[in-house]
């Protein structure tokens, strides 16, 4: 699986990352795994704002849109 990470800083010095990922499964929950390259920037407890744009949808996934 490939992943893309783009790092930008805006004028207020907030860090912004764009990550393109597949949704993973952890037990019965769907999760987004943060790439290891961002581990030092996004430590546990860090509050982030997450916007999700669906780029590709699986029609046969359970619980997904049909």
DSSP string computed for 26-54: ETTEEE-PPPGGGTTTS-TT---------
- Does the model's pTM come out above 0.75? no
| Structure tokens that stand for 44 in this block | 């546990």
- What does R_g of the chain's alpha carbons equal in angstroms? 14
Task: Give CB contacts under 8 A, 24+ apart, made by 20-26.
Answer: 20/55
Q: What is the pLDDT of residues 7-59, one digit of tens each?
A: 665 545 688 889 899 999 999 999 999 899 988 888 889 899 989 999 988 77
């Amino acid at each position: 699986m490939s992943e893309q990470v783009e790092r930008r800083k805006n004028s207020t010095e907030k860090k912004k990352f764009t990550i393109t990922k597949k949704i993973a499964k952890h037990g019965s929950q769907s999760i987004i795994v943060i790439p290891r390259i961002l581990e030092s920037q996004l430590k546990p407890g860090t509050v982030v704002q997450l916007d999700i744009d669906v780029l590709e949808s699986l029609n046969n996934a359970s619980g997904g849109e049909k």
